[in-house]
Each structure stands twice: as structure tokens, then as C-alpha cells.
Amino acid sequence: MSTVRTRVEDMPPGQARTDAEEGISWAAATVERLDPLNTPPRLPDIPKPQADDDLKPFLGHWSPYGPTY
């Protein structure tokens, strides 16, 4: 990015230089926003298992609510 900025600084004043500076600013802001290292890592929120939706399909004839006598 520094090479591009150096190149733009060498441009004569005018609309082309202004447009190039705006493009560089936009690109730098976009990179800053998308960089995953700008925020601390965190684990995803894992929902608590629900008896009917999450457990029942895997228990076969057993009850997800406990033993039935």
C-alpha cells in the first residue's frame, strides 16, 4: 500500500490525484474493517441442546427426558 501512496504523491495536483487518494482511503478502510485480527478472538455461542430437536433423533427408543419404568 505504501508504494501506491508514494506513486500518488508524485502525481500532479488535480482530479486524478484526488480520485486516487479517495480510492486509497477506501481500500485502507475496507482492509481495516475486514481484517479478523483487529478484534480479539472469541468462541461462538453454542446453544444448549433441546431434548426433542437435538437429542431424540439419536436416542432410538430411549426417552430424551430420562428413563421410563
Task: Please give the Cα distance from 58 to 51 (Å, whole number).
Answer: 10
Residue 1 binned pLDDT confidence (cut-offs 50, 70, 90): low
Phi-psi region of 14 (alpha: psi -120 to 50; beta: other; left: phi over 0): left
Rounded average pLDDT over 22-48: 90
Give the rounded percent of residues in the chain with a pLDDT score beyond 70.
99
pLDDT of 32 strictly over 80: yes
Helix axes 2-9, 15-34, angle to 10 degrees: 160
Grid cell locating 20: 486516487
Q: Considering the entire predicted model, what is its pTM?
A: 0.51
